[in-house]
Amino acid sequence: MQQNLKSELTKQVIIDEAFRLFHENGFKTTSIDKIMLATKLTKGAFYHHYKSKKELGLEVIGSKLQNRVCQAMIEPLGAPGDVFHILENTFLNRIKTFSLYDKEHGCPMNNFINEIGDFEIVYQAALKNIIEAWKLALIKLIERGKKEGVIQNNVSSNAVAVYLISAFEGIRGIRKLYDNDLILDEYILGLAFYLKQLKTVK
């Protein structure tokens, strides 16, 4: 039992350090050697848990990235309350809370998509699953807004969902190019205007 716990803790250390290094330096340039140096573990410990960096990469996508997006961007969309308040909190207010580290390094998932999204089908499928879950949660919320009479019925829920995800992920990537938040302020103004256009005219 104790050995199993130690093994799981070792695996978690590898995942955590790999995620950090992939986020900061990129997936392709981060070698197994660099990961193990950061963990202060042996290569034997790595190969006890993973056959390759590809397998570790899939685990990072399936656990770290998926959990982050689920907790921060998907679960809040299913909360009760005002639809527009939920959208504003998720896509406008959240971006104001990012640390300087997060702003400088961008969105981990977006980084993965840009770097290896077209690299191998298995990576593409794993990343696409996260986006699809996010999109479905958004569509469900937008459809609720229509039923409640706060979002215009002629609005395409799919199109709005794709636009909101694309704008959010896009600005996370663009912000890496700047040394201040002016670009984020412009995004917030533009998206706030867009959200107002979705509201039912009363």
pLDDT tens digits, residue range 51-104?
999 999 999 999 999 999 999 999 999 999 999 999 999 998 889 899 999 999
Looking at residue 185, its pLDDT comes to 95
Q: Is the pLDDT of residue 186 over 60?
A: yes
Distance in angstroms (rounded) separating the CA atoms of residues 152 and 4:
54
* Mean pLDDT computed over every residue of the chain: 93
30 confidence band (pLDDT: 50, 70, 90): very high
Looking at residue 89, its pLDDT comes to 92
Token couple for 82: 């005002």
Looking at residue 71, its pLDDT comes to 95
**Do residues 156 and 165 touch, judged by C-beta distance below 8 A?**
no
Distance in angstroms (rounded) separating the CA atoms of residues 111 and 173:
8
**Do residues 184 and 171 touch, judged by C-beta distance below 8 A?**
yes
Q: Is the pLDDT of residue 2 over 70?
A: no
Distance in angstroms (rounded) separating the CA atoms of residues 151 and 143:
8
Q: Is the pLDDT of residue 159 over 70?
A: yes
DSSP summary character for residue 41:
-
Please, which residues bridge with residue 199 across strands? 151
Distance in angstroms (rounded) separating the CA atoms of residues 53 and 92:
35
Kindly report which listed range (6-10, 63-67, 194-198) carries the lowest average pLDDT score.
6-10
What is the mean pLDDT of the segment spanning 42-57? 91
- 65 by Cβ neighbours in 10 Å (0-12 / 13-18 / 19+) ranks as buried
Which residues are CB-neighbours of 47 under 8 A, at least 6 positions away? none
The pTM of this model reads: 0.91
Write phi, then psi, for 129 (nearest 5 degrees): -60, -40
DSSP summary character for residue 165:
H
Which residues are CB-neighbours of 72 under 8 A, at least 6 positions away? 94
